[in-house]
Structure formats: structure tokens, C-alpha cells
Amino acid sequence: SKPPPKQIKIAPPVTTTGLTDVDVRSGMQVAALKQAVTDHLRYSIGHPPVATTLHDYYYALALAVRDRMQHRWLNTLQTNFDLKRKIVCYLSAEFLMGPHLGNNLLNLGIEQEARAALAELGQDLDIVLECEEEPGLGNGGLGRLAACYLDSLATLQRPAVGYGIRYEFGIFDQEIHDGWQAEITDKWLRYGNPWEIAKPEVAHYVNWGGHTEYYRDEAGNDRVRWMPYRVVKGTAYDTPTQGYGVNNCNTLRLWSAEAVESFDFQAFNTGDYYQAVEDKIISETVTKVLYPNDEPQIGKHLRLGQQYFFVSCSLQNMLHILSLSGVPVENFAERYAVQLNDTHPSIGVVELMRLLVDERRLDWDKAWAITVQTFGYTNHTLLPEALETWPLPMFQALLPRHLEIIYEINRRFLDEVRARFSGDEARVARMSLIGEEGEKCVRMAHLAAVGSHAINGVAALHSDLLKASVLKDFYEMWPERFSNKTNGVTPRRFLALANPGLRALLNEALGEQWPVNMEQLHQLEAKADDAAFRRKWRAIKEANKKRLADYILAHTDIELDPTWLFDIQVKRIHEYKRQHLNVLHIVTLYRRLKENPGLNISPRAFIFGGKAAPGYFMAKRIIKLINGVAETINADPDVNTRMKVAFVPNFNVQNAQLIYPAADLSEQISTAGKEASGTGNMKFMLNGALTIGTLDGANVEIREEVGAENFFLFGLTTEEVEHIKREGYHPTDCIASNSELRTVLELINSGYFSRGDAEVFRSVVNNLTYSDPFLVLADYAAYVACQERVSAAWQDKENWTRMSILNTARSGKFSSDRAIREYCDEIWNVQPATVKL
Ligand code: T68
């Protein structure tokens, strides 16, 4: 046998700049970053100088930044393993992360260094940042909330994994053609994704279809075996998520579906090559595309398949890691807190039972205790059309074993209901996991409620309504399970990153801790009375408005004056959000100006943005209406020196960061009781916009925080809405009693805003006239009157600025850090773990 090799010490290679390789991978100074970018340009990308593009610089800097996070990420994983801490697993079908590069530079604290390093290479960081294709793996509020929560979890040093789906195509890109929305597939992976790390060795197998068989095991127990029709493989792609000002770097783990090779081989061997290829295509379809519907549920087979796919991969992954750590499966709930982001992952309740009972052979009661202790459920909507149910035959065909388990959960659960409320069979039918009126279905909200120890709404009003309506019976059964967790947004991305001007002023006034201690913003209240401070505040707002005006000009050819009041409504287009109420006010103002050219109004830019679900007829007409009104008004010299309208195409996280900081007025005008919380309302407030809004969702709490005198309130309350609906609502009465409203509707109906075509908006006007499900006309007069108060208030610049400052000063509650602390303390029981380098 040979002697052991002599230990040789290898000196770290030194580059021409005198830096070591270690510096190039992890150094935070300008020289190290510059060398890292050059190295990545050469070794990771490898274009000759003549072919090097701006995008290459983006990619190289992204890789350099990822190297710096990698270091922190590995230490976080090791620390969590060593400390054996409980981990939050946030299950969400959507994560709307937005561009990574700017945020990661901010959270690592190396923006200036990166800017200088690029400058030395002849590049401008701001232009390089624009090269990033944002991962739009979500529809709107729900997906963005998940992203804000990941930011806060890492920043608050809580061990956490976000589990979701790596859609090959995210939310469609919106283009506006002749005023109509056109949908373009989002090929976000086209030029590669420097932020993800593929983990081909981290893979789990997911079954579909087939049937179940009963057998007796060696110990003589009756057991069930699932004989699937198809198996799909899920592979992990990890994106490190860096906390702000800490070393903690958590994981976003997204699953991608692939064909199982052995299946291909089988077909190969039998000579059926085409069958094998077809199987591969079917398997890969599972994670192909994000469903672009936000509220109404879409009962599609593939959607249920996506949900089960990512949830099964995630739970298998948790069990696998648990056993690697040598922790017995009985302790699952002590090590994992699993949160269901709406009902989309609620099949997890059943899947965990299957994994524990069928595969780990735990007895039912033990498994059920673990399951309920593990899960928490967040509800995001009360709209009946949005509540998820799956037709029984579809469910049975895809998940035959799960249906059996649901029947057993339901049998035991309904026994409990009968024991508590004996003789109340109506209640039993209402609460059942299976809906039996009409076509039989599985009720996912009931499943989530029964399988979770904690159930929460996303704003105080919404949590109350949840207990009084959709989950009333469940509240009566288990009041202790219910709580409120008002949403929050990350002040890092939506204030520090989006509004660098305001960041600098806040740093100067408060020091640099406010992004992680938003209560400090209260110290601004004293500054609201300081005229010099107000001047600075106004200058920042106006620069932000100029920045947005430039963007809008470049993308729409509409020129806006940054000295005007910027009145902004950006969010998904939905009847309950009432963009058309906003339009009715605009047309009202237009007519008033035409009738009375001398009218003294505050000049305003009305700005809209938002996507409509591709199949949502009314929402698409509303986009066309906004653009039609914009075209007419912007071209009319009688009014266009005092009002203009713009629709910003393709509202997404990237342009949102330009939009929120530029707002004077935030439109939050949903029908009371319909918007669960809203989070855009919070992003506007953070950036010093005043709100015009109804008493809906988190508006209620925003108004409480900022004070009634700094909020423009209008409209029916939830109780009034319900009362009117009960009594029978007749929108024609509103029209009959308001001649101005009648004229406005007639003008829209006449084709005035559609180049004479009186057909285009007939459906919108008819809907409002004869049905108006969201009480647009009932709130019209109050809204217009409230807008007059806004106009008057804008005339007093100094007082408007005071109110603007107070909005920012009192926005601390709406930091996602506050929300995440509440989840950690009251639902998850997860403690911080400090990560050292
Ligand atoms: C939103 N919901 C709520 N849903 O509407 C909003 N739905 O009030 C709240 O602030 C936000 O959630 C966060 O709590 C959504 O965004 C969806 O996007 C969605 C997607 C697929 C299916 C159903």
C-alpha cells in the first residue's frame, strides 16, 4: 500500500489586481466587485468584447451578487441545521418576486460599490438594472404578499422556505392595441435566470390518477396502496432570498415538472417511441403556465394538477429533510410550521395524511394530530365565485386516494359537528367537506379550515366578515382557531429601493434604521410643521412625478405635467375594484369643464394600470373604456391643459416601483366588504400619497392610523351595502335622481369616447344601468363630492404636504415585518436564528 499523500498547502491564486479568488467571490469592495464582474463576463458568459451586450453586464453583475449571497445562504442552511430550529414553510402557488438585482444590492448594502464598479467598467447601474426580466410568477396581491413575507422572514432572521411552482411562463405581458388589452406570453427564462440554482439531485415523484388497492401488511394491518396511472418528477430550483442588513439568506424553492425517464425507457423498449415523447410532453405541461385568473376560480383539471404537484413535492421534501436530520416523523409539527396561502395548497392537508398514514404507517389519530398542528390557513377572499371547489368526478380521476382520505376526514369531522350541535342537520350539510347542492364538489376552504389549527383573514374588517359569513359555522365550532393578521408590505423594496430621494431624506432625518424599524417614522410628525422640510418633501415628490411622466411618455406618447395632481389607480382590473367608478368621475369632470370653461379645478393627471384576466369580458371593456376616454380627453384642447388620462401598459413590480412614489392621490375605491385587504393602498401610503377610499379592507386601518382628517373617505359601509342588496337594489333609481350621472352614462353610450361606435361600451353601460352588482352608481354621488374635497385640498400646497408627510410618518404598522412578527409569535412559534459568517 502507498504512503498517504503529503499534505500540500495551496496558496490562494492572486489576480492581476492583487485580489485573491476569495475576494473575487465574496469581497464587498469596489475592486472585488469589478474583478468579479470581469471574471463572470469572461468565464461565465464568454462573449468576445465585440459581442458583449448590456445584458451581459447585467448577467455578470447578477452572478457576482449571487456569489455574495451564496456564502450567506450556505451559512444560513448550516446554522438552521445545527440549531435544529423550527422552520416556516410558506406554501404558495404564486410568488411575485419582482426584479432581484436592485433588491439584493440593497439588502446586501453594496449598491454604491456596485455602481462604482460598473462605472469603472463604463456602465451605468440604473441602465443595467433595466435589463432584468422580472419573474412574474403571480397574478397580483396574493403573490406579491408572499414575496414581501419572504423578505421579512429573512430580515427578521426566521428560518423559512417559500415553496411554489417554477412556471415556465409567468403572468402574460400586457400590450395595448387600439385601446384593447392584448396578451403576450411571458418568456421570462428566454435569456437565462442567474438567480436560480438548479438542484437536479433534489427531486420527488408525484402520482396521478389510477386506482387504489387494499392489502394487509406483515403486521396484519389493513393498508392502502395507490396504483397511479402516471408519475411526474418534480425537480427543485432554488432562489436565495437575502435579508436586509443581516447575513440570513433563506430559500425560495420552486418545483419544475419533468418526465420520469424510466417511463420513457419502458416505452422505448416496447418500441413505442412516440408514446414516450407524448408522456414527456404531458408531464412537462404541469408547470408550463401560470393561470392568469385572480378572483374567480377556474375549475380546470390542470390547475388542480399544479396544486397537487407542488404541494406533494414540498411535503415530501420536508419529510426527507426531517429524516436526514434524524428527527422522528412524530416530531414533524415541532420542526415545521406550514402556512397555506389561500386554499390553492390546501390539498396539502390530505397529502400529509396520505404520506403519514399510507407511507409512514402512522395511525390515523396520531397523523391527524400532527397535520392539524402543522398547518395554518390564510384566507384572501370572501367573493363566493372565488372560493375553490372541485367537481367530484374530476377530483376522483386525478386523486382517487385523496378522495378516500377526504371522506374519512369528513366522516370523523361531521361526527364531531353532530356531537356539538345535535339535531342540526342543516349545519352538518353546510359544513361538510363535500358540497351536495348542484353538482357534487370538494370544498377546499372547508378542508383548509378543518385541517389547520389557525385560520386568519388579512385585515381586521375581513377577518370579522370571515367569522360572520364564509366560515361562520367553523368559527362557532372552533373560535380559538381564528385571528386577524393584517397584511404588510416590505419597506425595503417599496420605499428604500423605489424612492431613493425619500430614502436619503429619511436617512438624514431619522438615521438609517427606519427600514427595519418603521415605528421610527413617527418622528417625522414633528417635521410636518417645518416649512423647509416640506419644501424638500415636495421637491422629492415632484422629481418622482417627473420620472414617472418620462416613463409614461416613452410608453404611451402621453405627456403629463409633473406639477399637476397625480391621481393613480393601479391594481388588477375587476368590477369590485371599480375602475369604472373612477372613469365616471373623470367623464363628469370633463363635461363640467366643457359646459363651464372658466371652472376652477386643480389640474390632474388620472393614471391607471392593471391587467385583466384574459377571459374576463367586463374587465377588458373597462380597459378599452379608460383608453377611449383618455384618447378623447387628451386630444381636446378645451380641457387638456387641466386634465389628462393615461393607462400605463403592463403594470408589474418593476414599473410599480416608479408609480407608487409618484402618487399624490391613491384610489382605493372598492365596494365595501369586497377587498379583503389590499396592499397597494399601503405602498402608496408609505410613499406619502393621500388615500381616497371606502371603508374596505385595510383602508379602515390606514384611516385609523393616519387620522380621519388626513384621509378622503366616501361611500357606503359594508352594512349599508348588505342592507341595500337585501332590500333590492335598483340602479335606475340612482340615474333617475341624478341628471349629471344620466348625462355621463349617455355620453359614454353614445360612442363619444369610441370614435362614434355606440356598440363598444353598451355592455358596460347596460351592466351599470340594469344590474350594477358592485353598487357603482349607488356610490357615484358621494365619490364625486369627495373628489371635490380632494381638489380643494390640493389648492393648499402646504397643508397637502403636511398630510403627505403624516401619511408616511404613520405607515409603520403596514410594514410586512410587523405582520411577520405576528405570524411568528401567534401562529408559527418560530424564533430568530442569527447567522454568522
Ligand atoms: C388578494 N387576492 C386580495 N388573489 O384580493 C387582496 N386568487 O385584497 C389582498 O390584499 C391580497 O390578496 C393579499 O392578501 C389575490 O390577489 C389572487 O391573486 C388569486 C390568484 C389565483 C386564484 C385566486
Probe ligand 1: pick from 148, 294, 302, max atoms within 8 Å of CB? Answer: 294
Cα 183 to ligand 1 centroid, rounded to whole Å: 20
Contacts 24+ apart (CB under 8 A), 729-736: 729/772, 729/775, 729/778, 731/768, 731/769, 731/770, 731/771, 731/772, 731/776, 731/777, 731/778, 732/769, 732/770, 734/777, 734/778, 734/780, 734/781, 735/769, 735/777
Does 171 sit in the ligand 1 pocket, CB within 6 Å? no
Cα 164 to ligand 1 centroid, rounded to whole Å: 16
| Whether residue 380 lies in the annotated active site | yes
Q: Return the higher-pLDDT residue of 215 and 5.
A: 215
- DSSP labels, 290-316: ----SSS----HHHHHHHHHHHHHHHH
Residue 465's pLDDT is what?
A: 98
Q: Return the higher-pLDDT residue of 8 and 429.
A: 429
Residues 516-530: b if buried by 16+ CB within 10 A, e if exposed: bebebbeebeebbee
Does 345 sit in the ligand 1 pocket, CB within 6 Å? no
Residue 20's pLDDT is what?
A: 83
Q: Which residues contact 51 (CB under 8 A, 6 or more apart)?
A: none
Cα 405 to ligand 1 centroid, rounded to whole Å: 29
Residue 114's pLDDT is what?
A: 98
Q: Which of 571, 611, 644, 810 is catalytic?
A: 571
Does 697 sit in the ligand 1 pocket, CB within 6 Å? yes
Query: What share of the chain in percent tops pLDDT 90?
Result: 92
Q: Which of 327, 290, 812 is nearest to 524 (CA)?
A: 812
Residue 269's pLDDT is what?
A: 62
- Residue 183 pLDDT more than 70? yes
For CA atoms 458, 461, 463, 468, the dihedral sign is: negative
| Whether residue 572 lies in the annotated active site | yes
Q: Which residue has the CA at smallest separation from atom 10 of ligand 1?
A: 678
Residue 522 and residue 518: Cα distance in Å, rounded? 8
Does 145 sit in the ligand 1 pocket, CB within 6 Å? yes
pLDDT bin (cut points 50, 70, 90) of residue 18 is confident
Q: What is the pLDDT of residues 687-738, one digit of tens each?
A: 999 999 999 999 999 999 999 999 999 999 999 999 999 999 999 999 999 9
Cα 294 to ligand 1 centroid, rounded to whole Å: 6
Query: How confident is the model over 467-488, as a mean pLDDT?
Result: 98
pLDDT bin (cut points 50, 70, 90) of residue 96 is very high
Kind of pairing between the strands at 389-391 and 434-435: unpaired
Probe ligand 1: pick from 381, 387, 389, 675, max atoms within 8 Å of CB? Answer: 381
Q: Which residue has the CA at smallest separation from atom 17 of ligand 1?
A: 294
Looking at residue 20, what DSSP letter applies? Answer: B
Residue 803 and residue 711: Cα distance in Å, rounded? 9
Do 41 and 174 form a contact (C-beta atoms < 8 A)? Answer: no
Does 672 sit in the ligand 1 pocket, CB within 6 Å? no
Residue 263's pLDDT is what?
A: 52
Count CB atoms within 10 A of the CB of residue 750: 14
Does 388 sit in the ligand 1 pocket, CB within 6 Å? no
Polymer length in residues for the chain: 837
Outline which parts of the chain fall under CATH 3.40.50.2000.
Answer: 84-99+134-436+473-480, 491-814
pLDDT bin (cut points 50, 70, 90) of residue 22 is confident
Q: Which residue has the CA at smallest separation from atom 6 of ligand 1?
A: 678
Element (DSSP H or E) covering residue 355: none
Probe ligand 1: pick from 380, 616, 683, max atoms within 8 Å of CB? Answer: 380
Residue 344 and residue 388: Cα distance in Å, rounded? 8
**Residue 241: strand pairing partners:** 250
Residue 268's pLDDT is what?
A: 56
Residue 271's pLDDT is what?
A: 67
Beta strand segments in 16-114, E? 87-91
Count CB atoms within 10 A of the CB of residue 804: 23
Residue 403 and residue 354: Cα distance in Å, rounded? 11
Q: Return the higher-pLDDT residue of 837 and 357.
A: 357
Three-state SS at 57: helix
Cα 676 to ligand 1 centroid, rounded to whole Å: 8
Does 445 sit in the ligand 1 pocket, CB within 6 Å? no
Residue 440 and residue 518: Cα distance in Å, rounded? 49
Looking at residue 268, what DSSP letter applies? Answer: H
* Cα end-to-end distance, the chain, whole Å: 41
Give a three-class secondary structure readout of 773-830: CCCHHHHHHHHHHHHHHHHHHHHCHHHHHHHHHHHHHCCHHHEHHHHHHHHHHHHHCC
For CA atoms 283, 285, 290, 295, the dihedral sign is: negative
Q: Which of 76, 455, 483, 128 is nearest to 242 (CA)?
A: 76
pLDDT bin (cut points 50, 70, 90) of residue 755 is very high
Cα 543 to ligand 1 centroid, rounded to whole Å: 32
Three-state SS at 628: helix
Element (DSSP H or E) covering residue 54: helix 54-83
Query: How confident is the model over 65-80, as a mean pLDDT?
Result: 96
Q: What is the pLDDT of residues 527-562, one digit of tens each?
A: 999 999 999 999 999 999 999 999 999 999 999 999
Q: Which residue has the CA at smallest separation from atom 13 of ligand 1?
A: 142
Cα 442 to ligand 1 centroid, rounded to whole Å: 21
pLDDT bin (cut points 50, 70, 90) of residue 32 is very high
Q: Tell which atom from ligand 1 comes closest to the C-alpha of 139.
A: 18
CA 332-338-344 angle, 5° bins: 135
Cα 61 to ligand 1 centroid, rounded to whole Å: 34
pLDDT bin (cut points 50, 70, 90) of residue 21 is confident
Q: What is the pLDDT of residues 132-144, one digit of tens each?
A: 999 999 999 999 9
Q: Which of 76, 671, 679, 718 is catalytic?
A: 679
Residue 295's pLDDT is what?
A: 76
Cα 379 to ligand 1 centroid, rounded to whole Å: 9
Q: Does the domain formed by 491-814 have CATH 3.30.450.20?
A: no
Instruction: Report the interhelical angle of 54-83 vs 101-108 (nearest 10°).
Output: 50
Q: Which of 492, 577, 624, 642 is catalytic?
A: 577
Element (DSSP H or E) covering residue 340: strand 336-341
SS3 content of the chain, % helix, strand, coil (to 5): 55, 15, 30
pLDDT bin (cut points 50, 70, 90) of residue 165 is very high
Q: What is the pLDDT of residues 269-310, one digit of tens each?
A: 666 778 778 888 999 999 999 999 887 777 799 999 999 999
Q: Which residue has the CA at smallest separation from atom 21 of ligand 1?
A: 294
Residue 451 and residue 758: Cα distance in Å, rounded? 53
Cα 601 to ligand 1 centroid, rounded to whole Å: 36
Q: Tell which atom from ligand 1 comes closest to the C-alpha of 462.
A: 8
* Mean pLDDT computed over every residue of the chain: 96
Q: Which residues contact 320 (CB under 8 A, 6 or more apart)?
A: 204
Q: What is the pLDDT of residues 372-412, one digit of tens each?
A: 999 999 999 999 888 999 999 999 999 999 999 999 999 99
- Residue 423 pLDDT more than 90? yes
Query: Which range has the worst mean pLDDT, 7-21, 98-112, 545-559, 781-795?
Result: 7-21
Cα 767 to ligand 1 centroid, rounded to whole Å: 24
Residue 422 and residue 557: Cα distance in Å, rounded? 68
Three-state SS at 758: coil
Q: What is the pLDDT of residues 822-835, one digit of tens each?
A: 999 999 999 999 99
Query: What share of the chain in percent tops pLDDT 70?
Result: 97
Q: Please tell me the class of the 84-99+134-436+473-480 domain.
A: alpha beta
- Residue 12 pLDDT more than 70? no
Does 610 sit in the ligand 1 pocket, CB within 6 Å? no
Does 458 sit in the ligand 1 pocket, CB within 6 Å? yes
Probe ligand 1: pick from 142, 145, 675, max atoms within 8 Å of CB? Answer: 142
Q: What is the pLDDT of residues 186-227, one digit of tens each?
A: 999 999 999 999 999 999 999 999 999 999 999 999 999 999
Residue 627 and residue 180: Cα distance in Å, rounded? 8
Residue 552 and residue 281: Cα distance in Å, rounded? 41
Does 457 sit in the ligand 1 pocket, CB within 6 Å? no
- Residue 1 pLDDT more than 60? no
Q: Which residue has the CA at smallest separation from atom 22 of ligand 1?
A: 294
Kind of pairing between the strands at 482-484 and 565-570: unpaired
| Whether residue 723 lies in the annotated active site | no
Residue 4's pLDDT is what?
A: 61
| Whether residue 679 lies in the annotated active site | yes
**Which cell is 720 given?**
349599508
- Residue 509 pLDDT more than 60? yes
Give a three-class secondary structure readout of 376-423: EEECCCCCHHHCCEEEHHHHHHHCHHHHHHHHHHHHHHHHHHHHHCCC
Q: Which of 683, 802, 810, 813 is catalytic?
A: 683
Residue 37's pLDDT is what?
A: 97
| Whether residue 802 lies in the annotated active site | no
ipTM: 0.99
CA 319-322-328 angle, 5° bins: 100
Beta strand segments in 138-221, E? 160-165, 173-177, 180-184, 197-208, 211-216
Q: Tell which atom from ligand 1 comes closest to the C-alpha of 344.
A: 22
What is the longest distance spanned by two Cα atoms in the chain? 104
